[in-house]
Amino acid sequence: MAEELIDICDDNMTPIGTDTRTEAHKRGLWHVAVHCWVIRPRPPGHVLFARRAAAPGTGGALYDVTASGHPESGESADARLSQLVEELGTPDTDGRRIPLGIKIDVNRRANDVVIREFCPAYFVTSPRGVQEYQLDHDVFTALVELAIPDGLELFSGRASRAGARGVEYDITAAAWRGFESEVGVHHFQPRVDPYYYRIFIMAQRFIQGSCDLAV
């Protein structure tokens, strides 16, 4: 099956053509990737991170954005966000999709994957506990949640570890299982900017009722 085309952008996020996602990551071409951050707003509030099945450019065994995806050529960020929510199996979201602006992602990953992405980022709120999600194990290998106060301590550098609770797919048993562990920053996809710290700051502001949110 031919790989789907995505829109390629110039440095100002203006579409200038199309290419495949593989080629965009190989050549370091600017394109759009939507970031969907699921938060559980009941105090103290939690932010959910996903670990994806190993594939070039996915970060492998590292935790990252709850869900992310590349819009197909001509597809809007909002339309891709709706698909990501469905992918997570979150039909009980309360309908709140809070735009956080554009995150600019630039880095080089394994296998010479070059990331140059304009990332419209959103909060999506859900009351569901992390063990209540129905995930496709071909896409996700784990889903964890960190309490907002713990995430602030970890990603500010004030703490070296934080408690995490989640689910992971047990290949041997062919089933999801719950677990609790401690995580450090090395368990998360590295970035050149304090993106995760800003996400926790914005999550805290959101549950405190602020409408001034931006990454």
Residue 88's pLDDT is what?
A: 84
Q: What are the tokens at 168?
A: 């992971």
Domains of the chain: 5-207 (3.90.79.10)
d(CA 175, CA 178): 10
Q: How remote is the C-alpha of 115 from its chain's centroid?
A: 15
pTM: 0.93
Are 180 and 163 within 8 A, CB to CB? yes
- Token representation of residue 81: 């966000």
* Whole-number pLDDT of residue 111: 82
How many other β-carbons are positioned within 10 Å of the β-carbon of residue 43? 11
Mean pLDDT per 10-residue interval, the chain, length 215 residues:
91 97 96 97 96 63 94 96 84 75 93 94 93 89 97 98 96 95 96 96 97 95
Which token pair is 138? Answer: 């071909």
- For the chain, what is the radius of gyration of the CA atoms? 17
Q: Among 107, 89, 71, 72, which Cα is nearest to 189's?
A: 107
Element (H, E) at 88: helix 77-88
